[in-house]
Amino acid sequence: MPTPLLLPDPSDPALTQPVVGLDQEGRRVEARIVHERPLTIFLNGREIVTVMTIGDHPEELAIGYLLNQNMLRADDVVTAVEHDPDLGVVVVRTARETDFEQKLQKKIRTSGCAQGTVFGDLMERFDQVRLPADAILKTSWLYTLTKTINTTPSLYLEAGAIHGCVLCQQDHILLYMEDVGRHNAVDKIAGFMWKHGLSAADKIFYTTGRLTSEMVIKTVQMGIPILVSRSGFTAWGVELARKAGLTLIGRARGRRFLALSGVERIVFDADPRHVEEEDPRVRRKGARDEGDL
């Protein structure tokens, strides 16, 4: 069984703070809320973007963002990654001169939360990616994963108002990242995979957020053949998934799911009648935080 490489740390005091308020009956209650702070990413001394983030894993976030925007290539030599927590800055330096200024002129806003962006030439790269056809997803893995992810201690369960993304292998969690924007959580995983040389061919990607075009593009960019969410779809997300041959599964809660692309990878080896339904407390929390039920 693979050992998880990184899981959320909901007890980290740097990520949340206590607040006092009143509930619906006027009673004084204490709750925890997540921090949100700016992080400015530089590439070779030039400012690229400022993202709003909870503040953990800034180096992975910066590298993953640049990789997923095609500003870094997988074979680039990164000579330094410098993080200044006081200034809220990460500087990524590479051996080659990058063409990010031209790419910045092509920037378009996407449907992701906060400052999610893609660039026009991403679609050229998207068309070139070939996802592994021999990857599979057993429904027994899917049921185990959704239950494990929903019960793993996380900021999502502790404070809400946050998205989670999980890199999985078969029915095991490898990486679990969270952030205020789902695209940030994706980028953290992409950066971690790049830094540690993790293969994408046999991996499954899970997100708590909606299956939008941005989520599909980033998953394909990383070379991961299977994308799963407890949430729903957008039409362009489905269209792009079918174009890329990505297995796309949404509304994965308890014994239920809906596959709209890449269904040939699914192995139906579990009887859903023998699978427990999702805990209603998790379902209600997801409905509040995702707005997608």
- Residue-wise DSSP of the chain: -PPPSB---TT-TTTEEEEEEE-TTS-EEEEEEE--EEEEEEETTEEEEEEEE-SSSHHHHHHHHHHHTTSS-TT--EEEEEEETTTTEEEEEESSPP-HHHHHTTEEE-SSSTT-EEETTHHHHHHH----TT--EEHHHHHHHHHHHHHS--HHHHT-S-EEEEEEETTEEEEEEEESSHHHHHHHHHHHHHHHT---TT-EEEESS-B-HHHHHHHHHHT--EEEESS-B-HHHHHHHHHHT-EEEEEEETTEEEEEE-GGGEE--S-GGGSPPPPHHHHHHHHHHH---
Q: What is the pLDDT of residues 15-53, one digit of tens each?
A: 999 999 999 999 999 998 999 999 999 999 889 999 999
Superfamily of domain 137-290: Cytidine Deaminase, domain 2 (3.40.140.10)
Q: What is the pLDDT of residues 178-204, one digit of tens each?
A: 999 888 999 999 999 999 999 999 999
What mean pLDDT do residues 217-241 have? 95
The pLDDT > 90 percentage for the chain reads 66
Q: Is the pLDDT assigned to residue 292 strictly greater than 80? A: no
pLDDT for 187 equals: 96
Say which residue, 163 or 111, is predicted with more confidence: 163
pLDDT for 142 equals: 97
Confidence of residue 289 (pLDDT cuts 50, 70, 90): very low
- Say what the pTM is: 0.87
Confidence of residue 75 (pLDDT cuts 50, 70, 90): confident
pLDDT for 281 equals: 59
What mean pLDDT do residues 224-232 have? 96
pLDDT for 291 equals: 42
What mean pLDDT do residues 263-284 have? 82
pLDDT for 111 equals: 41
Please give the mean pLDDT across all residues of the chain. Answer: 87
Q: Is the pLDDT assigned to residue 109 strictly greater than 60? A: no
Confidence of residue 156 (pLDDT cuts 50, 70, 90): confident
What mean pLDDT do residues 218-245 have? 95
pLDDT for 73 equals: 84
Q: Is the pLDDT assigned to residue 55 strictly greater than 50? A: yes
Confidence of residue 120 (pLDDT cuts 50, 70, 90): low
The pLDDT > 70 percentage for the chain reads 86
